[in-house]
Amino acid sequence: MTDTKIYKADRIFTGDTWLNDQVIISSAGIIDEILPVSSFPEHGSLENFPGCFIAPAFIDLQIYGADKKLFAVYADADALVKLKSYCNRGGAAYCLPTVATNSRDVFYKCIDAIRAYWNNGGEGILGLHIEGPWINSLKKGAHIESFIHSPSLDEVKELLEYGKDVIKMITLAPEICNEKVIDYILSSNIIISAGHSNATYKEAKNAFQHGIRTATHLYNAMSPLQHREPGLVGAIFDSNVMASIIPDGHHVDYAAIRIAKNILGDRLFVITDAVTETNQGYYQHHLAGNKYESAGILSGSALNMNKALQNLVNHVGIHLDEALRMCSLYPARVAEKDHELGRIEKGYKAKLVVLDDKMQFVKLIE
């Protein structure tokens, strides 16, 4: 008996180029090779997807919950299973569950839940993304102001020690965190993303030069680009950092995404920022059309990654191949996983998404 799997579709997008009349050969979850249809092996199980194309599976680095289980409220394995299932239905094989500004107890419970999920063999959860509470209250958005503060080094050390190997990303406002705090987080191999920030252009540029290499949900909850003070948006445009964006048509106008894409190129990547209906906890999200609000404030999207891809192509006008990279390769690059995810090539994980010719989700291959 062989565990060789063979995947065939009308086209394959490798992350770089489109291939016709080729098949993907994998075993033990790893891509072995890509071969012409005429020469693939007879052994192995074949899955054929006529009228479809195969691309690298998507990666969502900011999502808060799914199916009425906000992770910050339900810090347990079932919430993570539901969250992963939601991501899978949108073509994402991996995600970073995210917890917004909250109490220390909530952060600790979420860390414990992810650790338990991993210990029980759970897959697809890359770790934890903590958004706040070390942000600027002037750009809090829907975050709870009573928890927002500038951190001491001791507080940071305590949280990072408890969340060792679980916390993968922290969104903070660089102007309210001193250099020792920034240095300590970076030395712990945690990605810092600048967000919910009122930083001046100079403050933001200094932070980027100091090692911060990512920004959270471009345009939203950050100092805007103005002609006399370019702000955080201007600093992102005028640097080499990457930035996430929420392409739901509510958080950012599609024209603004197009402008950012023309400037940032391969530095712009997609997040869903998706939340779920809940009337428990500090963040009570309610569906308002095809977005979520909390206390009347825009608080999260109703996106999945497949819908985000469709919006990029249909409303922003980004070519399909580049839109696919924004949902897969570029998030993999931010997460430092682009050596094994985001491409279809030998030695990479066989995490694949199948879409039809209208970009509708067909299947996630894991």
Cα 149 from chain centroid (whole Å) = 25
Strands, E assignment, 92-182: 92-100, 128-131, 167-172
Is 339 within the bounds of a domain? no
- Return the CATH number at 315: 3.20.20.140
Same domain, 27 and 92: no
From the list 60, 248, 273, 338, the catalytic residue is 273
Domain hosting residue 361, numbered range: 5-56+344-365
Q: What is the rounded distance in angstroms from the CA atom of residue 331 to the CA atom of residue 312?
A: 15
Angle of the 104-119 helix axis to the 77-89 helix axis, nearest 10: 70
Overall number of domains in the chain: 2
Question: Looking at the structure, do residues 276 and 310 belong to the same domain, yes or no?
Answer: yes
Phi, psi of 242 (to 5 degrees): -95, 160
Question: Quick check: is 273 catalytic?
Answer: yes
pLDDT tens string, the chain, 366 residues long: the values are 368 999 999 999 999 999 999 999 999 999 999 999 988 777 778 999 999 999 999 999 999 999 999 999 999 999 999 999 999 999 999 999 999 999 999 999 999 999 999 999 999 999 999 999 999 999 999 999 999 999 999 999 999 999 999 999 999 999 999 999 999 999 999 999 999 999 999 999 999 999 999 999 999 999 999 999 999 999 999 999 999 999 999 999 999 999 999 999 999 999 999 999 988 878 888 889 899 998 888 989 999 999 999 999 999 999 999 999 999 999 999 999 999 999 999 999 999 999 999 999 999 999
**CATH number (domain holding residue 26):** 2.30.40.10
List residues bridging with 193 in a β-sheet. Answer: 171, 214
